[in-house]
């Protein structure tokens, strides 16, 4: 069964450093998403992406965040200058329309 | 508004019993809802979905009920098993000018007692 994959599974970084989180969506899906989940809290929407552009973004997704689909299979989330409060699980999801399927997540820890 | 809320943060049931997890939503225009299961250290796993033109939908051991009048969703799990222990989230799909996003509730932690 096709699934969304994410790398790395864990990432530790220093405050102010740039990180890139990578995702490989399900191959025939056209819609891509990033969500985050701070420890013990609910999953929060960050951004949706379709046809090589952002469809919608939340207020969390400020200028420090960017997304890219550099090739036909990868979908990345970049945080330019990480802050302590960026520590969270980051989930990638993809869909062919409404039903979104999630990856296993990347646990980001900013020190 | 865009809030989706859950009535109980934790639920414990005996193995083999049925469990019911509840969820309230606030956006009366929402027309698509999904239940996800999240095991420790993993991503949300799709369980079942329902559209607003339905009151009930059944899957394997799971049933989702939708009451649009009171804006309430429930997930029923029959004959619970140890593997059902997880956090369960309801999510409301919001579609704005073709862009989709999910609004998640806080989650209910389901514990299955042997």
Structure tokens at B105: 């509730």
Q: What percent of chain A has pLDDT over 70?
A: 100
**Mean pLDDT, range A60-72, rounded to an integer:** 93
Identify which of A89, A96, A93 has the alpha carbon closest to the alpha carbon of residue A110: A89
Residue B100: pLDDT band with limits 50, 70, 90: confident
Chain A interface residues (partner B, CB cutoff 8 A) = 4, 31, 33, 35, 41-45, 48, 50, 55-56, 58, 91, 93, 95, 97-105
Q: What is the spatial distance between Cα B58 and Cα B68, in angstroms, rounded to a whole number?
A: 17
In the predicted model, what is the mean pLDDT of residues B78-90? Answer: 95
Query: What is residue B46's predicted lDDT score, i.e. its pLDDT?
Result: 95
Closest of A90, A111, A103, A69 to residue A10, by C-alpha:
A90
Among residues A10, A91, A109, the alpha carbon closest in space to that of A48 is found at A91
Tell me whether residues A31 and B46 touch, CB distance under 8 A: no
d(CA B51, CA B33): 6
Which whole number is the average pLDDT over B41-65? Answer: 95
Instruction: Give the pLDDT confidence of A2-52 residue by residue, as tens digits.
Output: 899 999 999 999 999 999 999 999 999 999 999 999 988 889 999 999 999
| CA A20/CA A34 separation, integer angstroms | 12
Q: Which of A75-84, B43-52, B82-91, B99-108 has the lowest mean pLDDT?
A: B99-108
- Whether the CA torsion A39, A41, A46, A50 is positive or negative: it is positive
Residue B3 has pLDDT above 70, yes or no: no
Query: By the CB < 8 Å criterion, does B89 face chain A?
Result: yes
| Residue B2 scores a pLDDT above 60 | no
Residue whose entry in the numeric block shows the structure tokens 């704005």: B96
- Arithmetic mean of pLDDT, B7-31: 87
| Interchain CB contact of B25 with A (< 8 Å) | no
SS3 A84: helix
Say how far apart CA A7 and CA B91 lie, in whole Å: 25
């Amino acid at each position: 069964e096709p699934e969304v994959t994410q790398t790395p599974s864990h990432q530790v970084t220093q405050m102010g450093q740039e990180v890139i989180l990578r995702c490989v969506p399900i191959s025939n899906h056209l819609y891509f998403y990033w969500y985050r989940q701070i420890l013990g809290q609910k999953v929060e929407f960050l951004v949706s992406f379709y046809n090589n552009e952002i469809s919608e973004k939340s207020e969390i997704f400020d200028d420090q965040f960017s997304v890219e689909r550099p090739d036909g299979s990868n979908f990345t989330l970049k945080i330019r200058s990480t802050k302590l409060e960026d520590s969270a699980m980051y989930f990638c999801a993809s869909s062919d329309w409404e039903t979104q399927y999630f990856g296993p997540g990347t646990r980001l820890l900013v020190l | 508004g865009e809030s989706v809320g859950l009535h109980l943060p934790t639920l414990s049931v005996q193995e083999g019993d049925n469990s019911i997890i509840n969820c309230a939503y606030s956006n009366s225009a929402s027309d698509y809802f999904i239940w996800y299961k999240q095991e420790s250290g993993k991503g949300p796993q799709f369980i079942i979905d329902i559209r607003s033109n339905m009151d009930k939908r059944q899957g394997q051991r799971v049933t989702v009920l939708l009451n649009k009048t009171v804006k309430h969703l429930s997930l029923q799990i029959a004959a619970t098993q140890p593997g059902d222990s997880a956090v369960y989230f309801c999510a409301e799909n919001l579609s704005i000018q073709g862009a989709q996003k999910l609004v998640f509730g806080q989650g209910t932690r389901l514990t299955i007692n042997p």
